Structure 1
């Protein structure tokens, strides 16, 4: 072929079915009479084959007649039936493979062992025997269930593949997100291997967020702050995590997380309990003796019951996935105010916040006047001071959060807000001041702000034009990215303790990571893609 000359393209014409008994199948013309394929869809090739090999058909089935049209239709049906013999098993095998992925995903979501796949299949078959008893195609349904691959090894491979697919989806979101924050916590698994859990909260251009497990890293040696740092930086180096998008890191404030001391070994208590069990001790743990006739002790206990009840309510309020740091700050501020109110009420002898203590006083036949209120008031004030200390970071963010919730207040100090944003996110203060002033006089945005529902500050900031308010929009993105607690890590450790139980104590770190990712992720694996990349076979 001469250089630069393109090959000619030939197209199959539908009328050739009636003219020459040919159809176009799998990118080639196929003779309906003898199943011969022709390389090129050229009219001359098809006509030559028909008139040379099947000349009797021209006579027996005249052109443009109902007889020929019927014959062509019957031959096409026969060809389709022959082809389905080969395609149907392949389709069924792929469907069985997709089903095995779906069931394995359900097992992982519920922290179940890989071997439970066989139990699911057995239960499905038992149910199908009566559930589809009156179905005409019961045999086909049961055969399809039997074809689903759910052995222990298969479920293991399915979870590995799905974990990789989910991680790939996470990588794409990390690349496209505007910024993210990280959440760190460390705990030990069933065999006392320290596991560093890291969650990521991503914020995208439209102000939407996603919270996902970034990684779980085993710490085989020490768990000092430097060990945690080195393990994480090794992960960053291996995965090319874009740290320039990182806004903040949230930890539980433990010494190992802030780098002050080495953590105590959790193994000691386990060894102590084992020693007690080996010696057939009546009790297998330390007991705390309490004298239930000590009236003061009972009052202290009732006070502690009431106070921890209040703390538990706050704890539940702060828990959950997708919690906005602004709402969490509001809950903490409310509780700090409540502590001050409780302290004042105790000083006045009002026990409305302490029903158990009030009931205990009545049981002992005492009045409120006989209660040492100063003793308990001191404890409440101590907790209030501890809250101030523990939530120092919230205090630095609160003025910015208040402004971001409603930027049109009459008493806003432009210079002060710009300075606080600069100290928190390292922005240019003069640019921020200009944008804050511009926004305060933006009539359209002010109208949209007043029409927004409570808690819709994120929706409002999404409306800002990036070209007009780049710094304020970036501030809103960064604020939205912040974690307010380490709840996700703590929740993940609960999953970990179920996944790597005493019955699965030999589970590898890689399998633990895969199962934990699937159990906590909001992503749905691409079953079609996974099945297409697998060797699709029905179960034997």
Structure 2
């Protein structure tokens, strides 16, 4: 600090000899253990630190610019933006610095700091790759720590007709907390048979050391490639000795959508779709119809197309059609078109009933959608809808149309009041109820178990519940004794309302029940997350980014749908920070 020199060997004797030889007056001017000496040493330290900052400040600034580059790249991927948009953000920052910071004293320093953030296309690409790898490591680490996990898989085509298999995982930990997140995207270049899906998935499991012995359930759609009895993906997994015994569920939402197809009102849907297409197919007719709606101050500004593959499409299309039916009749009359069905009492009643029924099915579908929807939630929603079907049938038989507003509206507008025969509509409700019971029979085994896990202290038939546990989890004897011990444990009964109840239960005293409860918590009930990921994938790999590689599609999709937060500091420290040139 005194002379800016260094010693080759920093021993006390060497430093003392140098100090006495070159600075003999220092101890006289600044006596040891004095306040003036302490003050002088502090001043010398500040001078040295100021000189060193000439080298450390640029390094700190470069590191901050690199971290900002990681954060902006993550933001771009999260919002499904192209890699080239990094330059657009940089230009925006320059404009903001020029405009907003014009009166700032250190305007040039601010502009320099903004311009030093590296956001070129190649840089953003590398950042997205690093961020995706970091998030993937976090998911795989949690997968190795969890107690059990379940999977949901679904396959769809991207814009370049490559079959993409999306895999999501739901993990349950020892404290009964759960996490569900994106696991991987597998690319099927050739066929999409069950064995092709199985081979790709098994390859991924082996390469990433997935603890497949913790697998408890797989949820898929009902495609033959997934659920084929002999060569389907599920069958091949069951035949592989590396896979444990697991449950398989056909996606509850898919089954609910299929139930709605048993009600055959094709004579209604055919005409509705025909009229909508005739109005919207031609630009001139579409413009004239929208102008008419504006002139009549209609409830909606336009009709919507019907897409059969969309879960909620039919209900929304029918409701919009019913609400705009007077305007549609007026518009058709201006074109001198006549459709006798629009004046037929029976057809209008069928339209009202179908609109109400599809609206109720849509409400059930929407309730089952969303993240963190456990199997218990799905079972509750389905059972509630079954009960409602019986309630609606009773009301309909008594000609009480409180729960059928569109049917009530049509029954009031028809000319022939005797045309309304509620018995035929009750028959359709009975058909829906029968189909619900048939399709959701596989949930009956788990219903009592899920109810017990949700509320283990309710009055139950112990032998019946124990039999359900034996059937659902292939357990040996002993679960009935654990149920009795648990229900008579006063301390646990007092804490039964706590959300992490099963995390408080002793695993040594109740090994079978705690294991089963954790497995139930790990179950998926639907493939909603896969369907949501496909919607994101269509945005990421659109016709404008059709050359996006499979590796970068996986990286972008992972960052777009994953809830894990990347470790920005660790990523920044792992590379050599450089400012943008």
Shorter-chain TM-score category? 0.7 to 0.9
CA separation of 1:298/1:37 partners in 2, compared to 1, >3 Å: closer, same or farther? farther
Q: How does 1:40-439 map to 2 (within 5 A)?
A: 40=10, 42-58=11-27, 63=32, 68-259=37-228, 292-367=342-417, 369-410=418-459, 412-428=460-476, 430-439=477-486
1:33 aligns with 2:3: yes
Note if contact 1:328-1:484 (Cα within 8 Å) is conserved in structure 2: yes
Superposed CA RMSD in Å reads 2.5
1:522 aligns with 2:569: no
Note if contact 1:32-1:79 (Cα within 8 Å) is conserved in structure 2: no
Deviations 1:423-467 (A, max 9, x none): 212222x22111111112212222322xx1xxx5x5222221111
SS at match of 2:217: strand
Shift of 1:34: 2.3
> Please, what TM-score do these two structures have when normalized by structure 2?
0.78
Deviations 1:279-311 (A, max 9, x none): xx969x999998544443333222221111111
Note if contact 2:345-2:416 (Cα within 8 Å) is conserved in structure 1: no
Note if contact 2:7-2:15 (Cα within 8 Å) is conserved in structure 1: no
Alpha-carbon distance in structure 2 between the residues aligned to 1:506 and 1:297: 50
502, 514, 519: which one pairs with 1:478? 519
Shift of 1:51: 1.4
Match of 1:502 in 2: 543
Note if contact 1:38-1:46 (Cα within 8 Å) is conserved in structure 2: no
Deviations 1:58-112 (A, max 9, x none): 5665555666545433332221111111111010000000001001111111111
Note if contact 2:7-2:14 (Cα within 8 Å) is conserved in structure 1: no
Q: How does 1:457-496 map to 2 (within 5 A)?
A: 458-496=499-537
CA separation of 1:58/1:38 partners in 2, compared to 1, >3 Å: closer, same or farther? farther
Alpha-carbon distance in structure 1 between the residues aligned to 2:8 and 2:348: 96
Note if contact 1:33-1:75 (Cα within 8 Å) is conserved in structure 2: no
466, 473, 488: which one pairs with 1:441? 488
Alpha-carbon distance in structure 2 between the residues aligned to 1:307 and 1:318: 17
SS at match of 1:34: coil
Runs of 4+ aligned residues of structure 1 deviating over 6 Å after TM superposition are 285-290
Deviations 1:231-284 (A, max 9, x none): 21121122121111001001122333212799xxxxxxxxxxxxxxxxxx969x
Shift of 1:46: 1.4
Alpha-carbon distance in structure 2 between the residues aligned to 1:32 and 1:468: 71
Note if contact 1:212-1:522 (Cα within 8 Å) is conserved in structure 2: yes
Alpha-carbon distance in structure 2 between the residues aligned to 1:243 and 1:349: 56
CA separation of 1:409/1:192 partners in 2, compared to 1, >3 Å: closer, same or farther? same
Structure 1: 5+ residue stretches without partners: 1-30, 263-280
Alpha-carbon distance in structure 2 between the residues aligned to 1:55 and 1:219: 80
SS at match of 1:535: coil
Deviations 1:124-151 (A, max 9, x none): 2222333334433332222111111111
Note if contact 2:177-2:500 (Cα within 8 Å) is conserved in structure 1: no
CA separation of 1:408/1:339 partners in 2, compared to 1, >3 Å: closer, same or farther? same
Alpha-carbon distance in structure 1 between the residues aligned to 2:190 and 2:528: 25
Note if contact 2:346-2:419 (Cα within 8 Å) is conserved in structure 1: no
Deviations 1:21-68 (A, max 9, x none): xxxxxxxxxx5322314533x332211111123335456655556665
CA separation of 1:433/1:143 partners in 2, compared to 1, >3 Å: closer, same or farther? same
